[in-house]
Amino acid sequence: MTTHVRCRHEVPLPTGPGGAPHQFSADRSETYCVHVCQQETVAVQHLLREIDGRRVALVTDDRVATLHAKNLADQLRIGGVDVALTSFPAGEANKSLRTACELLDWLAGTALARRDVVLAVGGGVVIDTVGWVASAYMRGVPYVNVPTTLLAHVDAALGGKVAVDHRSAKNLIGAFYQPKAVVSNVGYLATLDRRQLAAGLAEAIKKGVIGSPALFELITDVADRVLDRDLDALEGLVRASSAVKCELLAHDPYENDLRRPLNFGHTVGHAVETVTGYGPVLHGEAVAFGMTVAAEIAASRGILAPDVHDRLVRLLRRVELPVRIADLPVPVEPDAVVAALDQIRKIRDGRIRFVLPIRLGETAIVDDVGDDEVLSVLRRLSEPDR
């Protein structure tokens, strides 16, 4: 049956002065659900409801394809979904414009329509890359995140900051583009090693420091169980961390105000990732080290109480995250990190903001941290641990 839609507009012509500008306003409100579960069968049911009969283009990396994504695609097909699947090599080095362009070419060869769904199944590299591709393809197609690393569960899958890296800076090419939904099956985390789980804990610890003393206490209580892959502990952690991040994001989802507590640990962390070539140091490891540097600066300035500083460093050590340069998996020169910060400063119009902790749940965002101050802390963290 043919459907006709009648549209009628009677727009008056402007009557004001000839040189007066016209004003345009565009408001956008976006809401999506974060589903947390422990079994793939439950995750599939959440996905079927979110997909709602549309075609799916599932994108993952080669490692996750074997571990989870191929089976997930099969389960969706059993549920009646038309699924096309592709993957790209795993690792931060492949979070690149080249990978994104290859994925755009692949999407152009599928039957995907404007209201069909892209499914990003993987860790932060997959989610960041696929999210940006979804934002660009057909000026934006819906996408759903299915995280498979702890870091992606508690951080990368939430918030719609999508990007690929450039040789001059991490996440230089990107957008703000919110997912249609997030389906977090913590059962996937059973395949992770302790190092990957610890890297994910870093982002959860960050949220506890900047926005939720209760989350910090929860992590202190369950960290050992999380590293042992206890599903109940993992589900509780993911639910709590997701709720905290969503609340923090709600105040400014598009970063109109660049003074953001969520950047705690990321200033030096991104510089460490840059100088080590995006890969040898996991993102969570870099953030943990960056949090330590920021805490040292705050303690040196007298704005962070020694007991809070010690609690943070003690927790990071306990979950096997780097708090000194020797703890990083590859050698890092303090001068190289400061040079990378200078490059970041140029990109950010000559200014770098540091998030410095004051107490659990409170931070100061400052723009007067100089290279000498950072270098002094980095050199102190290069000395043998006493």
pLDDT at 6 over 60: yes
Query: What pLDDT is stored for residue 172 in this prediction?
Result: 87
pLDDT at 109 over 80: yes
Summarize pLDDT for 77-89 with one digit per residue, the tens. 999 999 999 999 9
Summarize pLDDT for 230-241 with one digit per residue, the tens. 999 999 999 999
pLDDT at 343 over 80: no
pLDDT at 141 over 70: yes
Q: Kindly report the number of other CB atoms within 10 A of residue 113's CB atom.
A: 10
Give CA–CA dist 205/213, Å, rounded: 10
Q: What is the mean pLDDT of the chain?
A: 94
Summarize pLDDT for 284-326 with one digit per residue, the tens. 999 999 999 999 999 999 999 999 999 999 999 999 999 999 9
Q: In 3-state terms, what secondary structure has residue 229?
A: coil
Classified by CATH at the fold level, domain 253-380 comes out as Dehydroquinate synthase-like, alpha domain (1.20.1090)
CA distances from residue 170 to 174, 208, 288, 321 in whole angstroms, order as listed: 10, 24, 17, 21
Give CA–CA dist 164/186, Å, rounded: 25
- Within a 13 Å sphere around the CA of 308, how many CA atoms are in the beta-carbon half? 24
* Residue range 370-379: mean pLDDT, rounded: 95
pTM exceeds cut of 0.85: yes
Q: Are strands 33-37 and 181-185 parallel, antiparallel or unpaired?
A: parallel
Contacts of residue 229, Cβ cutoff 8 Å, sequence gap at least 6: 189, 190, 192, 197
Summarize pLDDT for 42-73 with one digit per residue, the tens. 999 999 999 999 999 999 999 999 999 999 99
- Domain spans of the chain? 33-192, 253-380
Strand partners, 86: 59
5 versus 328: the higher-pLDDT residue is: 328
383 versus 97: the higher-pLDDT residue is: 97
Structure confidence at residue 1 as a pLDDT band (50, 70, 90): low
Residue carrying structure tokens 């789980």: 197
Query: What pLDDT is stored for residue 334 in this prediction?
Result: 97
Query: What pLDDT is stored for residue 257 in this prediction?
Result: 75
For residue 287, report the phi and psi dihedrals to the nearest 5 degrees: -65, -40
Query: What pLDDT is stored for residue 48 in this prediction?
Result: 98
Classified by CATH at the fold level, domain 33-192 comes out as Rossmann fold (3.40.50)
Strand partners, 91: none
**Residue 287 exposed, middle or buried by CB count within 10 Å (0-12, 13-18, 19+):** buried
Summarize pLDDT for 184-222 with one digit per residue, the tens. 999 999 999 999 999 999 999 999 999 999 999 999 999
- Answer yes or no: are the C-beta atoms of 285 and 325 closer than 8 Å: no
- Answer yes or no: are the C-beta atoms of 272 and 278 closer than 8 Å: no
User: Which pair of structure tokens corresponds to residue 259?
Assistant: 């003074």
How many percent of the chain have pLDDT more than 90? 82
93 versus 330: the higher-pLDDT residue is: 330
Closest CA to 151 of 343, 319, 275, 362: 319
* Residue range 358-379: mean pLDDT, rounded: 95
Query: What pLDDT is stored for residue 348 in this prediction?
Result: 66
User: Which pair of structure tokens corresponds to residue 13?
Assistant: 């012509």
Give CA–CA dist 28/86, Å, rounded: 32
pLDDT at 100 over 90: yes
pLDDT at 347 over 70: no
* Residue range 342-364: mean pLDDT, rounded: 85
Q: Kindly report the number of other CB atoms within 10 A of residue 79's CB atom.
A: 14
| CA 182 and chain centroid, separation | 13
